[in-house]
Amino acid sequence: MEKLYISRDGLEKLKDELKALNTRRLAVAKAIKHARSLGDLSENAEYHSAKEEQALIHARIKDLEDKITRAAVIEDQEIDASKAYLGATVRVRNVKTQREMTYTLVSPVESDTAAGKISVQSPVGRAILGKSVGEVAVAVVPAGELRLEILEISR
CA distances from 122 to 35, 41, 109, 142, 149 (A): 44, 46, 12, 12, 17
Q: Which of 143, 134, 7 is nearest to 73 (CA)?
A: 7
For the chain, domains (ranges, CATH) are 4-73 (1.10.287.180), 77-154 (3.10.50.30)
For the chain, what percent of residues have pLDDT higher than 70? 96
Verdict on whether the full-model pTM lies above 0.75: no
Of the pLDDT bands very low, low, confident and very high (cuts 50, 70, 90), residue 86 is: confident
Give the residue, 34 or 123, on which the prediction is more confident: 123
- Per residue in 35-81, pLDDT (tens digit) is 888 777 777 788 888 899 999 999 999 999 999 998 888 765 566 67
